[in-house]
Chain A
Amino acid sequence: MNEYNCFRDRDLVDALAQRIRQRISRKWVIMEMCGGQTNAIARFRLEDLLPQDLELVHGPGCPVCVTPQTIIDQAIELAQEPDVIFASFGDMVRVPGVNDSLLSVRSKGADVRIVYSPLDAVRLAKENPDKQIVFFAIGFETTLPVYALALKNAIHANLNNFSLLTSLVTVPAAVASLMEDPENRVQGLLAAGHVCAVTGLEEYEKLAHCYHLPICVTGFEPADILWGIYNCVDQLEKGENSVRNNYSRIVNPQGNIKALEACNLYFEPIDQEWRGMGIISQSGLKIRKEYEHYDAFVRYKITQKRSCYTEICLAGDIMKGKIQPTDCPLFGQKCTPDQPLGASMVSSEGACAAYYKYKRNENKAMSITL
């Protein structure tokens, strides 16, 4: 049995779901932080297996979703510079700015390349010395080490034609901001295993203690998520507020020390805007001054502006766990993956997009079953 089948095993999943049903005695609201968790829950219909007393709300952990629209517009502008090759992860290129997306300017002649790793962008810089390569460096702590590695390689190769347009966010500051919201409903948190594999658990211990918040670190397979939910419910029922590492096959409590050292070498914390949620203090990262030569904001003298766009949908409330995607009146009507109006619909990892893909027409599916 391969790893996927092992952690998707029906008997194991059923047994875990039963343990959750047996353990719960009252209503609880648990937030899964990461879009990967949200998608797995929707894709495998895990909510169907859970007791009604348990409400899962979907956090702001989709890096594409929370990238501010102003930066997307700046990326689109930069991509249209004649000497620029603009490299990006695949799911960023579709996200609409005000008038265009990276994909639409590509069809108008901009040199936009979809790559799988920032290291591919470094390679592009080596292969195209007469071009400027800008990589759209977005994401959480998970992706940060590979940006650090890309910078290290670029410095080692003495490249003068490589830079990062950054929109980097960190989880703990966002969790703190959610917990301090007077309307917060979240009582327990499923932390994203891949982020914790880099950062370790120290910051999460502080959050758990400070906000009386039980936190369980989970993986992304059905059994991983249910095991995390069980442990979260167990803590809630016992009144505990600790961090349980339920993804110990990947997550070391100390994190990846080498990766963290590399990240600290090249990046420093800043106040960061999150699409749909506004500016959160010390929740982002920028390239340190000593390496600003590789910072596209500095190289192209781009001023970071706060988004002036107001989102007409309720994405912010959805990502803060206040409401469910289907509570938004625009969901599936005016706001769809083809024409997203807010943060959590712009990427397939977003909660609204996951609901649209897997749970839209739920009534239709139910009536069909009946």
Chain B
Amino acid sequence: MKTKQCPLPYNPKDLIQLAHGGGGKLTHELISTMFYPAFSNPILNEQHDGAIFDCKEGRMAYTTDSFVVDPIFFNGGDIGDLAVNGTVNDLTCCGATPLFLTAAFIIEEGFPMSDLQRIVESMKKASQKAGVAIVTGDTKVVDKGKCDKIFINTSGIGIIDPNIHIHSDRIEEGDSIIISGKIGQHGICILSTRESLGFETDVASDTASLNHMIQSLSESVPIHFMRDPTRGGLSSTLNEIADSASVRIELDEESLPIGESVLSACELLGLDPLYIANEGLMLIFVPKKHAEKTVELLKQFPEGKDACIIGKVTAKNTDGAVLLNTLYGGQRIIEMLRGEQLPRIC
């Protein structure tokens, strides 16, 4: 005979409640027991309404990004490290050394506290790895159903070395184009976790902060331009660059680094890896004579171990265009992504 048991008592502390964002006691508890200990640094610990810090003369870079990824936990990372790495990499693209981040959370009522703890821990690790401090933040809780689990916004400030000038105007005819790793990893990883697709893959997200690698590179190589090819993939980013710099870009299909699992998943789902999102890649434009050295230097970092030259700038002061030299000697246009890439029937 079954013995009657009391159900486990409902513990409101296990779940995020509206009051955690209400500015009262629960908000204070959440901040002081979770956020302050994890992100502790002298500026944050002042517990001011905003972050107060000294600034030097010169140029700074300032950026913001919001993260709404679903699922929030995936192979290779989670929404937390994505939020830190994304903003760090955006600053890095500007040629800046990232210094400070803000973190704002919009959380759905009923979100498990343990998941929030896990996300905050990974933000802590990612910010430590990137060498940035999370100096101020905000927490809001919305009614159940008003947002999907958790959204995070991070803003970042970085300082730009006076000798570094990263601008699309600096791209020159003959520049080599280098990618720091294999393409399509993040997008395929996220797609594969959507249960409706019903396929499994070992592909892990490439999410990573690239600032240390790029900083080291910029000490030895005059980088003309760089950008991280995130949403819309390599094709969309290259088209943006070609347009804004009025340059013609040629890629060599043979040299594109695509992992076998990503290639197989793309063939299966009818997707083009050139349009799949990345989160830990940098596209770098350097003078041709520095191309080999750039690849060599990138390869010294784990995030750059698959770095390679994928193409070149073949003309300047022209209509922006991205062309692909196919495996068989033909050439075709590479367009910007139209709408979302949707799985096809065949």
Contact = CB atoms under 8 A, between A and B. Distances in A.
Interface of A: 2, 4, 8, 10, 13-14, 17, 35-36, 42-46, 48-49, 63-64, 89-94, 113-117, 120, 138-140, 142-143, 194, 222, 337-338, 347-349, 357-361, 364-365, 368-369
Contact of B338 (A2, A143, A338, A347): A338
Nearest to A337: B338
Contact of A116 (B198, B267, B323): B198
B326 interface: yes
Q: Which of A8, A36, A361 neighbours the largest number of chain B CB atoms within 10 Å of its CB?
A: A361
B333 interface: yes
Contact of B333 (A2, A49, A361): A361
B344 to A, nearest CB: 5
Given A117-B198, A368-B321, A91 B345 contact: yes
Contact of A10 (B321, B328, B344): B328
A115 B342 CA distance: 10
Contacts of B314: 368
B332 A45 contact: yes
B98 to A, nearest CB: 36
A142 B344 CA distance: 13
Nearest to B195: A120
Given A2-B260, A10-B327, A368-B314, A90 B344 contact: yes
Contact of A142 (B198, B343, B346): B346
Nearest to B272: A43
B260 A139 contact: no
Interface in B311-346: 314-315, 319, 321, 323, 326-333, 335, 338-339, 342-346
Nearest to A17: B328
Contact of B315 (A42, A117, A143, A368): A368
Contacts of A364: 319, 321, 333
B186 interface: no
Contact of B330 (A4, A44, A361): A44
A94 B345 contact: no
Interface of B: 196-198, 248, 260, 263-264, 267, 269, 314-315, 319, 321, 323, 326-333, 335, 338-339, 342-346
A114 B333 CA distance: 29
Contacts, number: 104
A369 B331 contact: yes
Given A89-B344, A368-B314, A358 B198 contact: no
B326 A36 contact: no
Nearest to A138: B345
A116 B342 contact: no
Contacts of B248: 368
B343 A45 contact: no
Nearest to A369: B331
B346 A139 contact: yes
A194 B323 CA distance: 31
B342 A91 contact: yes
9 contacts: A17-B328, A45-B326, A48-B329, A93-B342, A349-B344, A358-B333, A364-B319, A364-B321, A365-B331
A94 B333 CA distance: 23
Given A4-B263, A8-B327, 13 more contacts: A2-B260, A43-B326, A45-B331, A90-B342, A90-B344, A91-B342, A114-B196, A139-B346, A143-B345, A222-B328, A364-B321, A368-B315, A369-B331
Nearest to B267: A4
Contacts of A348: 344
B323 A368 contact: yes
